[in-house]
Amino acid sequence: MADKAHITPIVFKWARESAKITAEIAASKVNVPAERLLEWEAGTSQPTIKQAQMLAKAYKRPFALFFLPDIPRDFQPLQDFRRSDSKPLSTGSVFIIREIQQKQAWISETNREKNEQKFPFVGRFTIHDNPALVAQDILDTLAISPGKYANGNAIKEWIDKAEARGIFISRTSFINSHLTLDSNELQGFAIADPYAPFVFINSEDWAAPQLFTLVHELAHIWIAATGISADVEPGFRKADRLHPVELFCNEVAANALIPINMLRQVGSNIFQSASQAFTIAKTFGVSSFALLVRALNLNLISIAQYKSLKTAADAEFKAFLIKEEEKKAKQKESAGGPNYYLLQIQKNSRLFTQTVLDAFRGGSLEPTQASSLLNVKINHFHNLEAQLYK
C-alpha cells in the first residue's frame, strides 16, 4: 500500500481554494472522485504522498506547505481597480499574480538589503494632479519621444527604456499549455514598490492595446497605486463605471502616447478617411480606436465623424488582424514556434532575468532558488543567456 501523506486538512483545502480550483477539477488531477478529495480536506482520510505531490504542483504550492500546522501568511491580494461587475479572477490570473508577487518580493528584499536608493518616480504624483503633467514626467523619465519610435516598434522601446530605469516589465498570456489568461478578465497590474516597481501586461491582446496597458500601469507606479486593471482604454466607453484611479491612469496613458500638441500638429486632414487615421495611429503605437477617441475628446472631430470613422476603422482593423494571424502562422511554420527561453524572459522580465543570473553567477543566490525564480533548470541557464544577449 502506498504511503499516506498526513497533510493538515485546513491547509490542504486552503491551497485549493486560493488557487480558484474546484474540487471536481482538483480531483481529476489525481484520478479520484471529488468526494474522495473532499474527505482529504475534511481529514477523514489522507491522500498518498504521490497524490499530494501532484496536487501541490497543480496548486503551484510547495509540497511541504501541506504539512504546516495552520494556514500560512500568504501574499496580500492586490487591490482590484476593475469594475464591480468584472469577471472573477480565475486560476490563471491568480497564478500569474502570485508568481509576480514572489519575484517582486525577492528583488525588493534584495535591493533593501543592499541599501539601494528608492526610485524617486514611484509615488511622485497623486490622482489629484494633472494627468498631462504625470504623462510628461513619465516621458521625461524614460526619455521617450512619442510617435518617433525606432524601427516602428513602440512597445519594445517603451519596455526597454522602462527597464533601463529599473522598472521590471513582465508579459505573457499563458501559465502553461493548458492554462491561458483572459484579457477581458485581466489586462495588467502594477506593484508600486519604491525598491522594485513591477508591471505585468497580458500579452493576449495585440501590440497597440498592450502598449496602452503598459503606459496605464506605469501611471499606477507614478501615483503609487498598486493594483489590478481591466477596461484599460482611452476614456469614452463606460467611463462612469470605472474606478477613479483607472480613469486617471487612462488619461495619463492617452496624454503620454498621443500628446495634444503632436495631434494638433498632424492636422485634422488625417481624419478624412479611416485608412489615414489607421496609418497615423500606427506611428503613435496606438489603435485607431484610441486615436479617434482622443480626437473626439479634444474636439478635433465631431461625434458624427467619430461614428463614421469608427465603423470604417473597425473593418480595416479586422483585415489587419487577419493579416497578422497569417503572418504569425507562417512564422510558426518556418521557425517551429516561439523560442521557449525567449518566452520565459518576457514572462520573467528581461531585467529580472539578468538580475537573477548575475546574483547566481556571483554566488549570492542558491541554485535552487535561482531556478525557481526563473522557472528554468540550472543546466539550461545558458539558453536564457543566449536569448538575453541577442
The pLDDT tens digits for 16-41 are 999 999 999 999 999 999 999 999 99
Same domain for 240 and 97, yes or no, is yes
Q: What is the pLDDT of residue 330?
A: 64
Reported as a pLDDT band with limits 50, 70 and 90, residue 48 is very high
For residue 270, is it within any domain? no
Same domain for 45 and 170, yes or no, is no
For residue 331, is it within any domain? no
Q: What is the pLDDT of residue 333?
A: 54
Reported as a pLDDT band with limits 50, 70 and 90, residue 231 is confident
In this structure, are residues 200 and 188 in contact, taking their beta carbons and an 8 Å threshold?
yes
For residue 302, is it within any domain? no
DSSP string, 185-243: T--EEEE--SSS-EEEEETTS-HHHHHHHHHHHHHHHHTT--EEE-S-SSEEEEGGGS-
Q: What is the pLDDT of residue 332?
A: 56
CATH number of the domain to which 47 belongs: 1.10.260.40
Same domain for 145 and 251, yes or no, is yes
Same domain for 202 and 159, yes or no, is yes
pLDDT at 124 over 80: yes
In this structure, are residues 112 and 223 in contact, taking their beta carbons and an 8 Å threshold?
no
Instruction: State the average pLDDT for the chain.
Output: 89
In this structure, are residues 227 and 263 in contact, taking their beta carbons and an 8 Å threshold?
no
Reported as a pLDDT band with limits 50, 70 and 90, residue 1 is low
For residue 296, is it within any domain? no
In this structure, are residues 124 and 89 in contact, taking their beta carbons and an 8 Å threshold?
no
pLDDT at 267 over 90: no
Reported as a pLDDT band with limits 50, 70 and 90, residue 370 is very high
Over the range 197-226, which residues count as b (16 or more CB within 10 Å of their CB) and which as e?
Answer: bbbbbbbbbebbbbbbbbbbbbbbbbbbbb
For residue 297, is it within any domain? no
In this structure, are residues 212 and 232 in contact, taking their beta carbons and an 8 Å threshold?
yes
pLDDT at 164 over 70: yes
Which of 257, 279, 296 is where one domain is finished?
257
Domain tally for the chain? 3
For residue 327, is it within any domain? no
pLDDT at 284 over 60: yes
Same domain for 237 and 103, yes or no, is yes
Select the more confidently predicted residue: 265 or 165.
Answer: 165
Reported as a pLDDT band with limits 50, 70 and 90, residue 302 is confident
Reported as a pLDDT band with limits 50, 70 and 90, residue 236 is low
Same domain for 98 and 39, yes or no, is no
Which of 212, 232, 257 is where one domain is finished?
257
Percent of the chain with pLDDT over 90: 62
Select the more confidently predicted residue: 234 or 383.
Answer: 383
Q: Supply the pTM of this predicted model.
A: 0.88
Q: What is the pLDDT of residue 159?
A: 96
Cell 484520478 locates to 31
Q: What does the pLDDT look like over 244-256, one tens digit per residue? A: 999 999 999 999 9
Same domain for 132 and 191, yes or no, is yes
CB count in 10 Å sphere of residue 292 = 26
Neighbouring residues of 139: CB distance < 8 A, sequence distance ≥ 6: 145, 146, 256
Same domain for 118 and 15, yes or no, is no
Is the C-alpha dihedral spanning 3, 28, 174, 100 positive or negative?
A: negative
Same domain for 100 and 237, yes or no, is yes
Same domain for 106 and 253, yes or no, is yes
Mean pLDDT, range 167-185, rounded to an integer: 88
Distances (CA, A) of 124 to 32, 80, 211, 296: 53, 22, 22, 30
Same domain for 60 and 125, yes or no, is no
Mean pLDDT, range 259-287, rounded to an integer: 82
Residue 25 in 3-state DSSP?
helix
In this structure, are residues 212 and 253 in contact, taking their beta carbons and an 8 Å threshold?
yes
Which of 235, 257, 279 is where one domain is finished?
257
Of the ranges 127-136, 188-197, 292-301, which one carries the lowest mean pLDDT score? Answer: 292-301
In this structure, are residues 341 and 386 in contact, taking their beta carbons and an 8 Å threshold?
yes
Mean pLDDT, range 159-166, rounded to an integer: 97
Residue type, 390: K
pLDDT at 191 over 90: yes
Q: What is the pLDDT of residue 334?
A: 55
Mean pLDDT, range 66-77, rounded to an integer: 88
Q: What is the pLDDT of residue 87?
A: 87
The domain in which residue 371 lies consists of 340-388
Q: What is the pLDDT of residue 256?
A: 96
Of the ranges 92-96, 151-155, 233-237, which one carries the lowest mean pLDDT score? Answer: 233-237
Same domain for 117 and 243, yes or no, is yes
